[in-house]
Chain A
Amino acid sequence: MKPFAYQRAEAADSAVATISRTGAAYLAGGTNIVDLMKLGVTAPDLLIDVTGLPLRDIEALPDGGMRVGALTANSDLATDPVLRTRFPAVALALLSGASAQLRNRATIGGNLLQRTRCRYFVDVTKSCNKRRPGAGCAAREGEHTDLAILGASEQCVATNPSDLAVALALVDARVELLTEGGPASMSVHEFFRLPGDRPERDTNLPPGALITAVVLPATPIARMSTYRKVRDRSSFAFAAGSVAAALDVRDGVVQDVRLAYGAVAHRPWRAYAAERSLRGAPATVDNFERAADEELAAAKPLRDNGYKVPLIRNLTVGVLRGMTEASW
């Protein structure tokens, strides 16, 4: 680990002012950055510990939405009774991540900034455009069973590792920030990005900005939402693929639907094509399959991750079928 200085943030604005200096990074729960520093993947000169800032409130907004302080622990939000009623997919996504010990420590804001688990990114002896722009991507021809099938670029085939982010994409969450210019906010869809030719950037977070809260806008359909995750063991593993879904079926017809996929792309993948295909259509397995196929038509699997295409397709169908049956 490279030497660095450690400092506790007294206030959000002074933290933002300090961090804008090169090389500094925020430290919250530490469940990702501390590990990456040990591996030498990231090497800030200065760590600003923000955990003392008052950003831990979970507010149930009167309009049916919620506002969650960025430093809320994953475990605290997952067990919030209002969240479980209004946004069950978010609670399920949180609970399917990591282990109890890590959920106790990990924060909502930090979760959005998790780095990819691509093995070439975390191994400093290997070439990775995300870690060192221009170095090349060893994953394309290497071990990539976990990596992206959608939206990847020549430079990068990494996936976003977050479960929470998939559920946030489902409900069109907004990310509240404090920047040097003052408070700002952006949609989670603007926040995450595809790698393109700038794979070193995971998100569109402005430089130096501090995530202060995540807002879940009032979303009636989210009350009928769920999250399902497939992984190589029963718990405590990153997803091979996951689906967040919200469904409103009346008289056998899909009134409204939302779908988002995890572990398939550099960002949580909102399945707009599948949603369009399903709105107004009879809620049948055939239609679910067709919708998933339409979404996945854009998939470009690598040598060893083609299994994700049928996996996501079957997962989509399974989730929607289950929700349809539950709505009868």
Chain B
Amino acid sequence: MSTTTVGAGAGIGTSPLRPDGTLKVTGEFAFSSDLWADRMLWGATLRSPHPRARIVGIDLTGAVATTGVHAVLTAEDVPGKKLYGLEHADQPVLAMGQVRYAGEPVAIVAADHPETARRAAAAIVVEYEVLPPITDPVAAIDAEETVHDRGNLLRHVPIRKGSLEATAPVVVTGEYEVGMQDQAFLGPESGLAIPAEDGGVDLFIATQWLHGDLGQVADCLGLPPSKVRLSLAGVGGAFGGREDVSMQVHACMLALHTGRPVKMVYSREESFHGHVHRHPARMWYEHGADLDGRLVYVKARIVLDGGAYASTSMAVVANATTLGVGPYKVPNVVVDGYAVYTNNPPCGAMRGFGAVQACFAYESQMDKLAAALGLDPVDVRVRNALEPGDTMPTGQVVHGPAPVADLLDRVRAAAPPAQRGDDLRELPGGVANTTHGEGVRRGVGYGIGIKNVGFSEGFDDYSTARVRLEVVGGEPAAVVHTAAAEVGQGLVTIQAQIVRTELGVEQVTVATADTTVGSAGSSSASRQTYVTGGAVKAACEAVRAAVLRRAGRDDVTLRGGRLVTEGGEVVADLVDVLGDRPIEETVEWRHKPTHPLDPRTGQGDAHVQYAFAAHRATVDVDVELGLVRVVEIATAQDVGRALHPQSVRGQIAGGTAQGLGLAVMEEIQVVDGLIRNPSFTDYLIPTILDVPPMRIDVLELGDPSAPYGLRGVGEPPTISSTPAIVAAIRAATGLALNRVPVRPEHLTGT
């Protein structure tokens, strides 16, 4: 049980309570769907039922005539740019003449009641000329029929390292498949747009990246960015699914058109259509090794289904490819990654971002290699484990700790879970009394993964922090203001901890994130504690320097509200130095630059930091019924420095559970371009009965080039838990299991 809590006033390395926690346990925290404004209207979206069709005509008469309706808008009403997108603006705000996926927004409505808005949207008559959808990403690469004019290949990333002709005495091959996973955040997409007197708009929104939204929203509204002000509303989970724009532009259009506040809240079904998903992947791998199990080469081909629009597919495929051989020393590498347009639902960011798919394949291959050589699966991994100073397939040298072998040794050495008890509720099938243990077999499996932290390939990845130090009620107090999105991970707590540590003040307020301060970048890529944490630290350093200048000292630190020498002598009270003149500093902070990949060889120092986690999964499988129960998960992860240990463990447990979901149950089923399970009844995520107790081992090895030595935490747990669980199921059943999620029908056979 991790209940390390200390009172407010704690700095980094402790686990103070979340500042938003009390509001969250009492129900008073304002999530984006809880917002309300006087004279507020409700927005609704009409979406395409077809994955590919030409729009022949749209008849709005029925919607316009509905009592209570205030606006009905289509593509013609988009005031500015008609297309948006994070990396490549190819996605229409509202469909223009054609639709490319089922669920694409075609028209939007504002009305005085959400039900009226939904009914009015349903009263719009769209005449479609339905076209056969392009749904097979592999075939789409070379197909003549294209989703967009530019062709179906969004990006090809080749990696070439060492010899292309390397051979080896032991060769294992495999074809692997990963299904489409959903972020399944609980808080539906929602926001409130309020028209402003200056002709602009204020948008209160649950997002991962306020400034990422700002640029796209302002462009599409045809407004200067200064007239579009975004504030972060409470975010009910994100996991990548809020990195792209969903209803942001729509709500603003309706608000500007009606002159009234407009709230939009997606239903769960709409949410499944309203955000991007994890890319389904097909992967072909060949590993060559010597007779001792040392890798000689890896050849792989990875095809990611990007769906109808680009979103972040170009970056996702670069991750899948550059991390495609895993945390191993491989002298010769030939990997080709492809991101492809289809008429399937658009795919983009989800926790793990390309690294998840590749890890399932390369870890399955490592198990195959171990089996081919008669080696222990952990031994074969340790034998090839990446070490500091080694080079990645991109030629990038790994600097700082890379405890791959250590993490594996730790999960292997962890005490095994207890044997099965008598409580039937602890058998596969759980409370359904499904199994009495006759056909139950236990299996153990391992996985280790690698993830880049932060944005890569030369992206200008920075964050902005503003810190103000002043006297409030006779006490020194600080306000920290960034645009960084708190999505549940605990960034608000971390920001205050950093300020306390750096400025030695107890009273710290974290201002609401908004666009009146510079960009913090996205709450994604495990980067926010690193980059915004770095920015807050740097802003504090600037404030401290100003305090010292004002005090005329350069030999003191700030502790407990005082200026203190190294020897412990108090030279002044902060309150006296500040007086009635607050000190405020705003700092833009960048991690060390990254570089593009060579487009032919994939060589380049594209990533800023690597993170690693290992998992050992123990499962019981009822082989007669195809039921899997994950009995226990042991995991080890190097986090560099745990700024808030309780949150670090929370991230590891939560990420591991999402990997478990992908391993055994989660998949958006897409048939002919249509999502067949857009509900929590049919898209299953793990319940508390599905997620086992976890043994979490946190290493703090310190990355010398990162703030406080920290390493991004959020994504690695999601990456290696999936292959570890599948390996355990393979160990229990002897089945090949080359596809996730593994479902009962894959285990009982047909």
| A and B, direct touch (CB closer than 8 Å) | yes
The interface residues of chain B lying within 8 Å CB-to-CB of A238 are: 681
The interface residues of chain B lying within 8 Å CB-to-CB of A311 are: 625-626, 744-745, 748
Closest chain-A Cβ to B265's Cβ sits at a distance in Å of 14
Query: B634-680: which have CB < 8 Å to A?
Result: 664-665, 669, 671-672, 674, 676-677, 679
- A237 CA to B665 CA, complexed, in Å: 11
At the interface, yes or no: B433 with Cβ under 8 Å from chain A? yes
- A39 CA to B679 CA, complexed, in Å: 11
Q: Which of A39, A96, A321 contacts B438 (CB 8 A)?
A: A321
Question: Which of A52-60, A68-76, A222-230, A264-272 has 4 or more CB atoms under 8 Å from chain B?
Answer: A222-230
Q: Which residue from chain B places its CB closest to the CB of A122 in the assembled complex? A: B679
5 A-B residue pairs with CB within 8 Å: A228-B434, A229-B434, A238-B681, A307-B749, A314-B748
The interface residues of chain B lying within 8 Å CB-to-CB of A227 are: 433
At the interface, yes or no: A240 with Cβ under 8 Å from chain B? yes
Cβ of B436 and Cβ of A125 under 8 Å apart? no
Query: A215-272: which have CB < 8 Å to B?
Result: 226-238, 240
Q: Which of A143, A234, A318, A321 contacts B690 (CB 8 A)?
A: A234
Q: Which residue from chain B places its CB closest to the CB of A228 in the assembled complex? A: B434
At the interface, yes or no: B579 with Cβ under 8 Å from chain A? no
Q: Which 7 A-B pairs have the closest CB atoms?
A: A307-B745, A234-B430, A234-B689, A306-B750, A314-B624, A143-B676, A229-B432
Q: Which residue from chain A places its CB closest to the CB of B428 in the assembled complex? A: A234
Given contacts A142-B676, A232-B743, A235-B431, contact A318 B750 (CB under 8 A): no
Query: B401-433: which have CB < 8 Å to A?
Result: 429-433
Q: Which residue from chain A places its CB closest to the CB of B747 in the assembled complex? A: A307
At the interface, yes or no: A291 with Cβ under 8 Å from chain B? no
Closest chain-B Cβ to A308's Cβ sits at a distance in Å of 8
Contact with B along A108-126 (1 / 0, CB 8 A): 0000000001010010011
Q: Which residue from chain A places its CB closest to the CB of B425 in the assembled complex? A: A234
Given contacts A125-B49, A233-B684, A237-B684, contact A119 B433 (CB under 8 A): no
Closest chain-B Cβ to A36's Cβ sits at a distance in Å of 12
At the interface, yes or no: A274 with Cβ under 8 Å from chain B? no
Q: Which of A232, A305, A321 contacts B684 (CB 8 A)?
A: A232
Contact with B along A301-312 (1 / 0, CB 8 A): 100111101110
Cβ of A233 and Cβ of B681 under 8 Å apart? no
- A173 CA to B386 CA, complexed, in Å: 65
Closest chain-B Cβ to A88's Cβ sits at a distance in Å of 10
Indicate the member of A122, A306, A307, A317 with the most B CB atoms within 10 Å: A307
Chain B interface (Cβ < 8 Å from any Cβ of A): 49, 115, 118-119, 267, 269, 429-436, 438-439, 624-627, 629, 664-665, 669, 671-672, 674, 676-677, 679, 681-682, 684, 686-687, 689-690, 743-745, 748-750
At the interface, yes or no: A315 with Cβ under 8 Å from chain B? yes
- A280 CA to B749 CA, complexed, in Å: 32
Chain A interface (Cβ < 8 Å from any Cβ of B): 1, 38-39, 92, 95-96, 117, 119, 122, 125-126, 142-143, 145, 226-238, 240, 301, 304-307, 309-311, 314-315, 317-318, 321-322
Cβ of A309 and Cβ of B750 under 8 Å apart? yes
Cβ of B684 and Cβ of A318 under 8 Å apart? no
Given contacts A229-B432, A306-B750, contact A235 B626 (CB under 8 A): no
Q: Which of B434, B439, B684 contacts A230 (CB 8 A)?
A: B434
Q: Which of A117, A143, A235, A314 contacts B681 (CB 8 A)?
A: A117
With A1-B118, A311-B625, A314-B624 known, 4 other A-B pairs at CB within 8 A are: A143-B676, A230-B434, A232-B744, A318-B439
The interface residues of chain B lying within 8 Å CB-to-CB of A143 are: 669, 671, 676-677
Closest chain-B Cβ to A164's Cβ sits at a distance in Å of 14
Q: Which of B433, B439, B676, B690 contacts A233 (CB 8 A)?
A: B690
Indicate the member of A236, A304, A309, A321 with the most B CB atoms within 10 Å: A236
Cβ of B682 and Cβ of A117 under 8 Å apart? yes
Q: Which residue from chain B places its CB closest to the CB of A242 in the assembled complex? A: B432
Closest chain-A Cβ to B144's Cβ sits at a distance in Å of 26
Cβ of B625 and Cβ of A314 under 8 Å apart? yes
Q: Which residue from chain B places its CB closest to the CB of A321 in the assembled complex? A: B438
Closest chain-A Cβ to B116's Cβ sits at a distance in Å of 10
The interface residues of chain B lying within 8 Å CB-to-CB of A117 are: 681-682
Closest chain-B Cβ to A246's Cβ sits at a distance in Å of 15
- A305 CA to B439 CA, complexed, in Å: 22
Q: Which of B115, B269, B434, B745 contacts A145 (CB 8 A)?
A: B745
The interface residues of chain B lying within 8 Å CB-to-CB of A96 are: 431-433
- A236 CA to B431 CA, complexed, in Å: 10
The interface residues of chain B lying within 8 Å CB-to-CB of A240 are: 744-745
The interface residues of chain A lying within 8 Å CB-to-CB of B750 are: 301, 306-307, 309-310
Closest chain-A Cβ to B277's Cβ sits at a distance in Å of 17
- A126 CA to B118 CA, complexed, in Å: 19
- A95 CA to B689 CA, complexed, in Å: 14
Given contacts A143-B669, A233-B665, contact A228 B433 (CB under 8 A): yes
Cβ of A307 and Cβ of B625 under 8 Å apart? no
The interface residues of chain B lying within 8 Å CB-to-CB of A318 are: 435-436, 438-439, 624-625
The interface residues of chain A lying within 8 Å CB-to-CB of B677 are: 119, 143
- A96 CA to B432 CA, complexed, in Å: 5
Cβ of A314 and Cβ of B439 under 8 Å apart? yes
- A234 CA to B687 CA, complexed, in Å: 8
- A133 CA to B571 CA, complexed, in Å: 87
Cβ of A92 and Cβ of B686 under 8 Å apart? no
The interface residues of chain B lying within 8 Å CB-to-CB of A233 are: 664-665, 684, 686-687, 689-690
Cβ of B431 and Cβ of A315 under 8 Å apart? no
Q: Which of A126, A145, A234, A304 contacts B629 (CB 8 A)?
A: A234
Cβ of A229 and Cβ of B439 under 8 Å apart? no
Q: Which of A237, A315, A321 contacts B625 (CB 8 A)?
A: A315
The interface residues of chain B lying within 8 Å CB-to-CB of A122 are: 679
Q: Which residue from chain A places its CB closest to the CB of B672 in the assembled complex? A: A142
Cβ of A232 and Cβ of B665 under 8 Å apart? yes
- A26 CA to B418 CA, complexed, in Å: 50
- A137 CA to B743 CA, complexed, in Å: 25
Q: Which of A39, A231, A321 contacts B432 (CB 8 A)?
A: A231
- A120 CA to B674 CA, complexed, in Å: 11
Closest chain-B Cβ to A328's Cβ sits at a distance in Å of 14
The interface residues of chain B lying within 8 Å CB-to-CB of A234 are: 429-432, 629, 687, 689-690
Cβ of A226 and Cβ of B433 under 8 Å apart? yes
Q: Which of B119, B431, B625, B690 contacts A95 (CB 8 A)?
A: B431
- A95 CA to B439 CA, complexed, in Å: 23
Given contacts A117-B681, A230-B429, A321-B438, contact A236 B687 (CB under 8 A): yes
Closest chain-B Cβ to A121's Cβ sits at a distance in Å of 12
- A165 CA to B14 CA, complexed, in Å: 54
Q: Which of A304, A307, A309 contacts B626 (CB 8 A)?
A: A307
- A318 CA to B436 CA, complexed, in Å: 8
Closest chain-A Cβ to B45's Cβ sits at a distance in Å of 15
Q: Which residue from chain B places its CB closest to the CB of A2 in the assembled complex? A: B119
The interface residues of chain A lying within 8 Å CB-to-CB of B669 are: 143
Cβ of B687 and Cβ of A235 under 8 Å apart? yes
Closest chain-B Cβ to A300's Cβ sits at a distance in Å of 14
